[in-house]
Amino acid sequence: MLIQTRPDPSPSAHDRVYRGLRTRIMHGEIEPGQALTLRGIGKEFGVSMTPAREAVRRLVAEGALLLSSSGRVSTPDLSNERIEELAALRALIEVELSSRALPRAHMALIDRLQLINGTISDAVRAHDPVGYIRTNLEFHRTLYLRAQAPAMLAMAETVWLQLGPTMCKLYGRMNRTEAPHFHRHIIAALKAGDEPGLRLAVRSDVTQGLRMLTT
């Protein structure tokens, strides 16, 4: 069989599949318990089973997917204990990240955060759960990128990934009326250079968002 001429020079096939699935999971576009098949993934991304399997294996290793004993793959349905753990991890890591970002947070960053916060409000008003989750993550990531701590950010994103399907389930059935108000606390603490206030605001935002996840 001839190699199909792909115009993409840099991204390998498994990487495209991995990124595609990853963002879908992190943004909460796949609900918990949904089953996936390697051949289906391969057909969707136009590749064979081999890259699909590698991408799935990687996501399983990161806790974003669950591999049943028979090898079947699906999105995990988290227990309340697991959710509490992941929320605690978010609090630990993201508080540290925000604290490290504070000294480098200049006005341009704060402006961008306020802009993103406005987009969150738009998504809330439009009752768009996926848009809400995606923009909310963008808010946090924009702040944490300033921490210049890639290993910590990767850890935080791994936690987000594990919570993705569960957040899909939650925000699907809940109707927010406004953007999370702790984001305003975060921005205010950044403006004031108030580190204890920032830590408290980030911790509150993370735990408040996940307290309602535990049924």
Partner DNA sequence: ATGGATTTCTTGTGATCACAAAGCCGCGCA
Partner DNA sequence: TGCGCGGCTTTGTGATCACAAGAAATCCAT
Binding site for DNA (CB under 7 A): 1, 3-4, 12-14, 36-40, 42, 47-51, 53-54, 67, 70-73
Q: Which is nearer to DNA, 72 or 125 (CB)?
A: 72
Q: What is the contact mask toward a copy of itself in residues 17 to 56, using x (rule: CB under 8 A)?
A: ---------------------------------x--xx--
Q: Which residue's structure tokens are 């290993």?
A: 151
Judged by CB under 8 A, the chain residues 184 through 203 that form the site for a copy of itself are none
* CA dihedral (175, 19, 74, 213) positive or negative: negative
The one of DNA, a copy of itself, none whose footprint includes residue 48, by CB under 5 to 8 A per kind, is DNA
88 is an interface residue for a copy of itself by CB under 8 A = yes
Q: How far apart are CA 69 and CA 53, in angstroms?
A: 16
Q: How far apart are CA 103 and CA 101, in angstroms?
A: 6
Q: Which is nearer to a copy of itself, 13 or 116 (CB)?
A: 13
Q: How far apart are CA 109 and CA 140, in angstroms?
A: 12
Q: Which is nearer to DNA, 45 or 132 (CB)?
A: 45
Q: Are 72 and 149 in contact (CB under 8 A)?
A: no
70 is an interface residue for a copy of itself by CB under 8 A = no
Q: Which is nearer to DNA, 36 or 92 (CB)?
A: 36
Count other Cβ atoms within 10 Å, centred on residue 194.
15
> Shortest distance, CB of residue 85 to a copy of itself, whole angstroms?
4
* CA dihedral (142, 65, 40, 129) positive or negative: negative
